[in-house]
Amino acid sequence: MAIEVKIPAVGESITSGVVSVWRKKSGEFVNEGETLFTLETDKVSTEIVAEKAGLLETKVCEGQEVKIGEVVATIDDSKRPPEEKKAEKPQEKKKEPEEKKKEPEPKKGVEEEEKAAPQKEKPLSPAVRRIVEEEELTPERISATGKGGRLTKGDVLAAVQAHDRTEEKVETREVEPSADGRFVRKKMSPLRRKIAQQLVMAQHTAAILTTFNECDMSAVQDLRRNKQEEFTKRNGVKLGLMSFFVKACVEALKAVPVVNGRIDGDDFVQNNFYDIGVAVGTERGLVVPVMRDADKKSFADLERTTADYASRAREGKLKIEDLRGGTFTITNGGVYGSLFATPILNPPQSGILSMHKIMPRPIVVDGKVEVRPMMYLALSYDHRAIDGKEAVTFLVKVKECIEDPKKLPLDF
């Protein structure tokens, strides 16, 4: 019986992906749970495995864009692996030493080297393999420093930097220099193409508008300074800024529920839960893992979750489940030095908050000019669902909670 291999649903806003590489070729026998291919989307890469054992027949080529639900291969589970051939191999290996004793020593050494060569190949971790594929590197040419001679993420990233300075890198990435040498042209990676398509789609399908405000970070900085040592000893993680903003956004979403909803066709879906996406930058692009039920998490829980997601995102270990179902997103361009920016919505969500760099600026406090640590905030929202009054009210609520943290449930 032929079992269809379909592209699974990998997120509410994801409608397609790219089959970046087949792990198994057409005509090969695959075992249940074995990786068939890598699917690249604008958010994350994921490996699709075989649900049944059988003979694989692929229907699409590597690099081809596919829709969710599309059949990309079939597995004939009536076929069985060639067990007889597997059984013969051990017997042949047992006989070979006796036969080789009669042959000259040089010939024996050559045969042993040929058989040993395939065994020297080391498997690549998912994170390493994705970088190798995206950057089109040759693993055999990279110096391995890992245990047992395996390639580490650091090895391949170093190779990428080295290749950027060589003509070999230009050739493997199909870079075409202009006639006068003033510019070069190269193909975008499948992941970067999907990110570009998603961003354009977001701007074409929503009425995005941005409202701005600024907040005084003095109270939060004082609180962190006074509580940091105790918080770190008790929870094993530092008290950062993100947990304050997640808490503040939850309070604002409760005060202005429409920002926590989304448009679905001709309907508006009001979410009564608070799954907050937190954007994390990686070498391969921006990903948005989701903090489930953020309203029920303590400051320590939020900081641990943030640290865990950031670590796994940079190591390429995030799962599709980590990115699904967010109701609102927070992005922090301030860590890169951004002072002011307008974020793009993360479909199908209706709102996204952008944090920025904390800068000492003169402001008027009680009729006097004082220098305070200030941060600009930007809220982009879908004007189809959210009115300007509601958006401004939401952002003012976030500002109030940050400037007066006592309005937050301080559970540390």
Active site residues: 383, 387
Closest CA to 405 of 232, 231, 246, 236: 246
- Residue 123 CB coordination number (10 Å): 8
Q: Which residues contact 151 (CB under 8 A, 6 or more apart)?
A: 122, 124, 128, 132, 139, 142, 144
User: How far is it, in rounded angstroms, from Cα 275 to Cα 291?
Assistant: 5
* φ, ψ for residue 358, nearest 5 deg: -80, 120
Amino acid occupying residue 338:
S
User: How far is it, in rounded angstroms, from Cα 338 to Cα 331?
Assistant: 11
Helices (H), 206-275: 218-235, 242-255
Run of H or E including 380: strand 368-382
In contact, 53 and 31? CB cutoff 8 Å: yes
In contact, 138 and 147? CB cutoff 8 Å: no
* φ, ψ for residue 105, nearest 5 deg: -60, -40
User: How far is it, in rounded angstroms, from Cα 394 to Cα 254?
Assistant: 9
CA distances from 254 to 46, 276, 292, 408 (A): 34, 13, 16, 12
- Cα torsion at 380, 384, 386, 392 (round to 10°)? 50
Q: Which residues of 370-404 are buried (b: 16+ CB within 10 A; e: fewer)?
A: eebebbbbbbbbbeebbeeebbbebbbbbbebbbe
User: How far is it, in rounded angstroms, from Cα 136 to Cα 159?
Assistant: 11
Amino acid occupying residue 333:
G
